[in-house]
Amino acid sequence: MPAKLQETNFAAGIDPILSTLDTDGGVIVHDFIAPDTLQQFRDDVRHAAQQHHYGTASDLVDVQRFWGDKTMRFTRLPLRSTAFFDILAHPDYLAVADATLGPNCPNYWMNTGQMMILAPGQPTQVLHRDADNWPNMNRPNGFEVTLSCMFAIEDFTIENGATRVVPGSHRWNDYQRRATPDEVTQAVMPAGSGMIYSGRVLHGGGANISHDVSRWGLHVSFVLGWLVPEEALPLSAPWDCVKDQPERVQQLLGWRCSTMGSDSTRLWTVDYEDVPVGLNLL
């Protein structure tokens, strides 16, 4: 049997989480989202889901296979739910990201905030590493370029497709190796929990073998500030949506420049000024 994912909560501090991420590549954190925030976000995304379809509009076979024809995905979550800001800026999650990504860049972006809804009949997703978005950076002797969390907006169960994970696969010497069935476990967890995981650990959506229960999951990930994120952030969250948010949230959503360790070295600028300054938004 594969190693079961370890479980904790933020009351124990972030050190046990960082230690488990280092050894296992993933850890389940209970009571991650506050109940009132969870309920508001759940209501908002259920409304948003009524306007979306399952499967992708892409005609690329690889995209279709990865997406899943019984999986609904959508982003632009800052526009769809104000509760998303509380999830994105969770201080303990940011503390974990600071410790994980900070040694290689003083700033990071939100990579994407994405709803992933698996309907009954959706088969397992191919196991993959999120850091494969930046393939030259994703290697056994490399460092962390992205950190993710899969949040359970409704309970994650074996039957409805809880995320599959291969604990320890971020430490493999050969990233071309395929996982054997006995190395794969699943992130079974109650609503409001989140599985924080390394961008280098193998994982993928489980098979939804239930008859009538969809798996409602929220993916929120971060990426180093000198790499391009998955989501076109300022297009997904326009200035009017973020202007009243703290600078840290604005920076996570692409509305502040990324400093590279000194005030004179900056990326993502307008007229070489910080974004809202260059655009005369302040």
Please report the DSSP string for 35-65 in residue order.
Answer: HHHHHHHHHHHHHHHTT--SS-S---HHHHH
Instruction: Decide: 51 and 72 in contact? Cβ < 8 Å.
Output: no
pLDDT at 1: 46
Domains along the sequence of the chain with CATH: 7-231 (2.60.120.620), 236-282 (no CATH)
Interatomic CA distance for residues 183 and 262, integer angstroms = 43
The residue type of 230 is E
Secondary structure class of 79 (helix, strand, coil): helix
pLDDT at 263: 62
Secondary structure class of 117 (helix, strand, coil): strand
Interatomic CA distance for residues 179 and 123, integer angstroms = 17
CA distances in angstroms from 198 to 19, 43, 150, listed in the order given = 12, 29, 11
What are the phi and psi torsion angles at 120 (to 5°)? -55, 135
Locate the DSSP E strands across 35-165: 71-74, 108-118, 146-152, 164-165
7-9 and 26-30 strand pairing:
parallel
Instruction: Decide: 5 and 27 in contact? Cβ < 8 Å.
Output: yes
Interatomic CA distance for residues 200 and 25, integer angstroms = 8
State if pTM tops 0.85.
yes
Interatomic CA distance for residues 142 and 147, integer angstroms = 14
Indicate the length of the chain as a whole number.
282
Per-residue tens of pLDDT for the chain, all 282 residues: 467 899 999 998 999 999 999 999 999 999 999 999 999 999 999 999 999 999 999 999 999 999 999 999 999 999 999 999 999 999 999 999 999 999 999 899 999 999 999 999 999 999 999 999 999 999 999 999 999 999 999 999 999 999 999 999 999 999 999 999 999 999 999 999 999 999 999 999 999 999 999 999 999 999 999 999 999 999 999 999 999 999 999 999 999 998 877 666 889 999 999 999 999 999
Residue 50 neighbours by CB distance under 10 Å: 6
Torsion of CA 6, 15, 107, 221, to 10 degrees: 10
pLDDT at 200: 98
